[in-house]
Amino acid sequence: MLRTLFVVMSLMLIQLTAHADNQADFWQALKEGGKVVLVRHAEIDRSFGDSFLLDESCFSEKNLNELGQKQAKNIGAEFTSREIKIYKVFASPHCRTKDTAELAFGSFTVNPVLRLTKALTAEKANTNIEKTKTLISSHKEMSNLILVTHRPNIGELANIRVEPAEMVLIQPLGDGLFDVITRLKLTESN
């Protein structure tokens, strides 16, 4: 029993250390600049609304819940407190991504290529993913580019399944290429 407890405690310590290292790597790379951050929209109210719909009033769409609003504000607070330089913030036209972008970063521009791929025809989704890859790989500014989008889109781009408000850090390489550096999901204690 004592040995099992020791093994469990050791594994928890390894996980905490890995998270701390991951967080340090994430913020240090952003301080260097020239990166792209893929942000999955924050937590939504799953009991009402349509994930695929675009509704200018936002009434019929899935929208952020209270936790999601806190998550988005927490992202913004971390970027601000760490003085991360931002070139531009683009968001998908869905209300949950626009709200995440606004609560986290203030100003943003809607970019239709970031629209939820599952809401599009396969041909249009593939076109949008290719345009997004070009947008990422061609980022050459010294400050960082933020793209607030959806899990399926990030999965297609980075081959990672992300949670609400999770971020994936990308190094643009040009010529349609980029590397995934790391990922980060902020916790309440960040």
DSSP classification of residue 114: G
Instruction: Determine the longest span between alpha carbons in the chain, in angstroms.
Output: 58
So what's the pLDDT on residue 68? 96
Q: Measured in whole angstroms, how far is the alpha carbon of residue 19 from the centre of its chain?
A: 17
So what's the pLDDT on residue 54? 80
pLDDT tens, 54-109?
Answer: 878 788 888 999 999 999 999 999 999 999 999 999 999 999 999 999 999 999 99
Distance CA 80, CA 97 (A): 19
pLDDT tens, 18-62?
Answer: 344 578 999 999 999 999 999 999 999 988 877 887 878 788 888
Residue 140 carries which side chain, given as an amino acid letter?
K
Q: Measured in whole angstroms, how far is the alpha carbon of residue 99 from the centre of its chain?
A: 13
Distance CA 101, CA 13 (A): 33
Comparing 5 with 102, which gets the higher pLDDT? Answer: 102
Helix H segments across the chain?
2-32, 66-81, 95-105, 122-137, 151-158
pTM value > 0.85 = yes
| Backbone CA torsion sign across 85, 88, 90, 95 | positive
Q: How long, in residues, is the chain?
A: 190
Residues 186 and 73: beta-carbon distance below 8 Å: no
Partners of 31 in beta bridges: none
Phi, psi of 138 (to 5 degrees): -95, 0
Residues 145 and 30: beta-carbon distance below 8 Å: no
pLDDT tens, 119-158?
Answer: 999 999 999 999 999 999 999 999 999 999 999 999 999 9
Q: Report angle CA 45, 49, 51 to the nearest 5 degrees.
A: 90
With CA atoms as reference, report the closest residue to 163 among 45, 47, 44.
44
How many other C-beta atoms are found inside a 10 Å radius of the C-beta of residue 67? 15
Q: How confident is the model at residue 14 (pLDDT cuts 50, 70, 90)?
A: very low
pLDDT tens, 152-189?
Answer: 999 999 999 999 999 999 999 998 899 999 999 987 65
Domains of the chain, each with CATH number or no CATH? 2-185 (3.40.50.1240)
